[in-house]
Structure 1
Amino acid sequence: MPDANMSVTCSCGTNENNETLFDKLDEILEEYKFKEGGLIPVLQIAQGLFGFLPEEALHHIATKMNKPYSEVAGVVGFYSYFSTQPRGNNVIRVCLGTACYVRGGKQVLDSLKKELHIDVGETTEDKVFSLEVARCFGACGLAPAIMINDDVHQRVKPTRIKQILAPYYKTEMEEA
């Protein structure tokens, strides 16, 4: 985990250029490069800086931490938290664990795909939403469930998808 005193904010959508982002990444790498288990915190912070983990950043991290690129890329590929593709400002995760699946999770996913015009792993053209699948949120008794960012929505009905997404569109419009 990143240091509690360090703020990790996404710079995606800002005008910060790559040089500035890599300068910030170098500061982080100086702090973590010799720490046991430092790779994951560095990747978390890098994803916060860039909004995702571009290949150029992965190579940079591997070089600065004196690790093979395959190790760095392997960690990124193993953990679903990490993304090598730009994500939307709101990440929707649909639970397809057993309880959610049996109680209509697949239909909820299909409704989201139709509403957003994207598939799992994709981001809407306007960069408002990204769609992912998860296995369990621990809300099995209130299935099916979805998470939008840190908000858990329970007993989701496919017919209510527009209603659930509306506040997130409204937030985007207010921030623009």
Structure 2
Amino acid sequence: MDALERSVHEAPVIDRNGRPYLVHPISNGIPTLDPHLVREVVNGICQVADLADADVIATPVTMGVHVSTAVSLVSDIPLVVIRDRQYGFDDEYAFDAGDDRLYLNDVEEGDDVLVLDDLTNTGAFVAAITEALEEVGANVVDVVTVIRRVESEPVPMGHEVKSLLDVRVSEDGVEIVD
């Protein structure tokens, strides 16, 4: 994880609504997303995720899409993007994740789903996604995030969230947590 660790230390931390915010290539596309970093992240996900039991990868729009697409290409597991836009298909499932209204298609009862995301803060967003997947009858086989912020108490959910890197973000920068 050399490139990922280096990248979090090099990424700027800004004030966003009174809270230190990490502006990282994986979660924001800024600074420039280096292909070596993406390759390292995808390899890391493939090592920690339960790919053997997954029928489909589900990822929320927007910034998890590039990483999840790469994992899909490497693993040959189809990808479903959970969108913030309604299309009105018959099987479309709408749900709330915090302030966001999200829409899920193409996940069916009995599907085994790997949930991938780029960055997890409290886990509330991922918890809403896993709950929605279970409400449509899918089985969540694994939940993986690239970077997990650990300075807040995580939201309880029925799934362990695996991460490639745990960090604390402050005005002074980023601390990697073992």
With the shorter chain as reference, the TM-score category is under 0.3
Higher relative contact order (CA 8 A, sep 6+): 2
TM-score under structure 2 length normalisation: 0.26
More strand by share: 2
More helix by share: 1
TM-score under structure 1 length normalisation: 0.26
